[in-house]
Structure 1
Amino acid sequence: MKTKLLYTLGFANLFIFCFYLYSFTTQKDSTDFSNKILKVKGVVVVDSLGIERVIIGSHLPPAQTAKGYRKDTRGNSVSGVMLYDHEGQERGGYVTDDDYGNAFLTLDSKIGQHLLMLCEPQGSAYMAMWDGKNAIQLKTAKDDGYIKLTKGNQQIKLYEDEK
C-alpha cells in the first residue's frame, strides 16, 4: 500500500512539474525591440578573427597604422563611421569633426590618404585626389572656386577665379 502511494505521489509530482515547466516555457518572455530606437555611444564590427573592420561611434579612436599601434593623425575629435582592412588598418571613413563642424569622406591606401572630400558648415566644398607627385584639387566657395592639376610636382591651373 505504501509503495502504491509513493508511486502515485511520484507520478503526480512529475506530472505537475512537467505541466509547470511547459506552461512557463511556452509563454513569450522576450521583449520585441523591432520598433525601438537603440542609443549607443559606439558599435564595433569585427571579423571572424576578432579584427576591427568597422567602427561607428561618437569620438572615434585614433587611426591604427599597419604596425598595429594607434596614432593620432586627425588632431581633433571626430564622430562617424571608419573602415578598416583585414589587418585592422584604417582605410577610410565618413566623419564629422567637433572643432569646425566639417563633414569628411576619405579613402586611404596602406601608406596614406588619397581621396578627401570635405564640406564646411557654411557651404564651401573641397575635393582632392593624389598619389605621390600627381594631384587633382577642386574647390568651391561663396566667392572663390578653382580646379588645379599637379603632375610631377608641376602645377597646371585649369581654371581659377582671380579678381
Structure 2
Amino acid sequence: MASRSILSCKILLIILVCFCPTFSLAADTLYQGGEALRFPSRLVSKNKLFTLEFVRLGSAESNASYLGICYQNDTGHPIWIANRDRPIADNSGVLEIDGDLGTMKVTYSGGDLFDFYSSQSPTSKLTATLEDSGNFVLKDANSRSDRILCRSFDDPTDTFLPPSKKNHFD
C-alpha cells in the first residue's frame, strides 16, 4: 500500500514538472549586494500590475533589448524605457546596484552601458523598488526617511501614469 502511494506521488510530481507552465518567484525590490536583474528575470510590483524587465522591441530578427516597465499582461509594449537611446545588442543586460561606487547601472557583455544613478559617495544600503504606481524608485535606505535618489517618473517617456509629472515644473 505504501509503495502505491509513493508511486502516485512520483507520477503527480512528473505531471506537474512536465505540464505546468514555468514560473519564477518575482520580487519587487533589488537590494545592494543582492541579486542583479538579468534577462529573462523581472521585478513585479506588489499589486502585480507592472513589471520591470529587459524587453525586445522591433522585428523578430532584432536581438536589441531595453530595460523597460510594462504592464504585467502586455510585456511586449513598454510604458517606460530606461535606455531608449542606447539599446543592448543582445540579451546580456544586467541591472545592478553597486554600493561601493554609489551607483545603479546597466551593464552588458560589452561593458557598462549607462549609470541609472550615480552618487558622489559610496552608500551602504541602496534599494530599488518597482512600486504599485509603476514608478521605479532608487532609495537610500540608510537615511531615516528612505531618501529617494531617483525615480522613473522623473524621466517620463511618451506614456504618463498618475501621479507622474508632465514636466519638471509640475
| TM-score category, normalised to shorter length | under 0.3
Larger radius of gyration: 1
TM-score (norm 1): 0.24
The structure carrying a bigger strand percent of its residues is 1
Greater RCO structure (CA 8 Å; 6+ sep): 2
